[in-house]
Amino acid sequence: MPAVPAAPSAEQRFEREALPHLNDLVRTASRMMGDRGRAEDVVQDVFLQAWKSFGRFETGTNCRAWLYKILFHCVQHYRRKWFRFSVMQPMDDYTESTAAYTPPIPEQLTDEDLLAALEQIPSDFRAVLLLVDVEEFAYREAAEILQVPIGTVMSRVSRGRRLLRDALGGKESGR
């Protein structure tokens, strides 16, 4: 009589479902925190929290989105702890900065140009751009991860893209 294969242990499930997303989480956390060391601290905390609550995770659901939700919660916690100031600029400053002339974006940009421009964008806009444009989450998934309304995600994507264009507009072509 053939033996019935044993169900995978929680550790095996965690390794199979969560660990493949480690590099993506570190990359996104690095962009959010602006410092690889701090990003690694945050991601370590993400995986600790994920491991602690993995018993409540339903196999077959989107583990990647679940981990990103934990990531953005941890990033907010670390920011409050490390920086002790608001990460959003007042709306008047935003409106004033976007009303000015924006030079066209050069045809040739380096990765360094793009990453430097991304670093100039306020973190709330950067977070949405990273989720939607880089990690390719749907607006609804990004809204769930960030725990904001979908309209906020849509607005931040639009404004974030405009801020990114503005930041890239000042780069010289062919650098």
The CATH number of the domain where 76 resides is what? 1.10.1740.10
Please indicate, yes or no, whether residues 78 and 95 belong to a single structural domain of this protein. no
pLDDT at 47: 93
| Long-range own/partner contacts, residues 5-8 (CB < 8 A, 24 or more apart) | none
- Say whether pLDDT at 92 is over 60: no
5 is a domain residue? no
- Residue 36's domain comprises 10-82
Percent of the chain with pLDDT over 70: 78
pLDDT at 87: 46
pTM: 0.61
- Say whether pLDDT at 33 is over 50: yes
Please indicate, yes or no, whether residues 100 and 131 belong to a single structural domain of this protein. yes
| Per-residue pLDDT tens over the stretch 151-167 | 999 999 999 999 988 88
Q: Answer with the one of 82, 110, 126 that is the final residue of a domain.
A: 82
119 is a domain residue? yes
Q: Where does the pLDDT of residue 141 fall: very low under 50, low under 70, confident under 90, or very high at 90 and above?
A: very high
Other C-beta atoms closer than 10 Å to the C-beta of 153 total 24
Q: How many domains does the chain have?
A: 2
4 is a domain residue? no
Please indicate, yes or no, whether residues 100 and 72 belong to a single structural domain of this protein. no
pLDDT at 169: 78
Please indicate, yes or no, whether residues 95 and 59 belong to a single structural domain of this protein. no
Please indicate, yes or no, whether residues 76 and 101 belong to a single structural domain of this protein. no
Please indicate, yes or no, whether residues 155 and 114 belong to a single structural domain of this protein. yes
174 is a domain residue? no
**DSSP H helices in 18-87:** 22-33, 36-52, 63-82
Percent of the chain with pLDDT over 90: 38
Other C-beta atoms closer than 10 Å to the C-beta of 124 total 16
